[in-house]
Amino acid sequence: MEETGHSVEVNDYVGKSGQYYFSRFKKKHIFKTGDFYTCKIGDQVSSAAKDHELVWLKPEEAIKNLNHEFQKWAVREAFEKLLKNNV
């Protein structure tokens, strides 16, 4: 289960990526990393976290709304993988 309250089925590993960014809150540079996977969303099994809302976006729209370049890379990479596998 993840923050939206839905179960998820992990499919493929997309990759690991990260980048430094300046945290205005901590007033220093921080290296933020992520491991990225393609997943299939399942049934809603609990309430969503109060600070999360499930919103479906087209890949290009998602990329435009992400703050960090390494997250944008992950979306592009995941959709290339999905298109390659005809998912």
Q: How many domains does the chain have?
A: 1
Query: Who contacts 58 (Cβ-Cβ below 8 Å, separation ≥6)?
Result: none
Predicted confidence (pLDDT) per residue in 65-79, tens digit:
999 999 999 999 999
**pTM (2 decimals)?**
0.81
Predicted confidence (pLDDT) per residue in 15-30, tens digit:
999 999 999 999 999 9
Q: Is residue 31 part of a domain?
A: yes
Q: Which domain holds residue 71?
A: 6-84
Q: Are 32 and 21 in contact (CB under 8 A)?
A: yes
What residues does 18 pair with on adjacent strands? Answer: 33
Q: Is residue 1 part of a domain?
A: no
Angle at 58 between CA 6 and CA 37, to 5 degrees: 50
Q: Are 40 and 31 in contact (CB under 8 A)?
A: no
> What CATH number is associated with residue 54?
3.90.79.10
> How far is residue 54's CA from residue 47's CA, in Å, rounded to a whole number?
11
Q: Is residue 56 part of a domain?
A: yes
Q: Is residue 71 part of a domain?
A: yes
